[in-house]
């Protein structure tokens, strides 16, 4: 059994409006919850994921940190991506 998370930036340009940050949480190869910066919250895909999503969404500071990741993590690194030929 393995627990892991994957952070991802999806983008069409370096403009902040064109960037989506997602954090997917997996257990035993099954994604059970995902944070989307477009939604601004976690969504659960299993019974356990729904319970965890409800808890994580109640943690205001954690959600604000994830929302900020779109600018601090994604936009910064995408800027570097576009600088390289």
64 within a domain of the structure (yes/no):
yes
Asked whether residue 59 is domain-assigned, the answer is yes
Specify if 63 maps to a domain.
Answer: yes
CA dihedral 51, 54, 73, 1 (to 10 degrees): -10
Collapsing DSSP to helix, strand or coil, 55 comes out as helix
10 domain residue, yes or no: yes
Q: Decide if 84 is inside a domain.
A: no
Rg (CA), the chain: 14
How far is residue 54 CA from its own chain's centroid? 16
- Apex 10 CA angle, 43 and 47, nearest 5: 15
CATH number of the domain residue 58 falls in: 3.10.320.10
> How high is the mean pLDDT of the chain?
90
* The pair of three-digit structure tokens given for residue 55, joined into one six-digit string: 């808890």
Q: pTM value?
A: 0.84
| Residues 13-48 pLDDT 10s | 767 678 899 999 999 999 999 999 999 999 999 999
Residue 60's domain comprises 3-75
The answer to whether residue 83 is domain-embedded is no
Query: Is pLDDT at 85 greater than 70 in this prediction?
Result: no
For the segment 56-77, the average pLDDT, to the nearest whole number, is 91
Read off the pLDDT band of 3 (50, 70, 90). very high
């Amino acid at each position: 059994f393995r627990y892991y998370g994957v952070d991802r930036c999806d983008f069409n340009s370096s403009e902040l409006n064109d960037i989506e940050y997602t954090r997917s949480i997996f257990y035993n190869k099954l994604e059970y919850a995902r944070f989307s910066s477009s939604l601004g919250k976690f969504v659960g895909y299993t019974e356990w994921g729904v319970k965890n999503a409800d808890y994580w969404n109640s943690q205001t500071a954690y959600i604000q940190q994830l929302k900020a990741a779109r600018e601090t993590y994604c936009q910064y690194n995408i800027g570097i991506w576009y600088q390289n030929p």
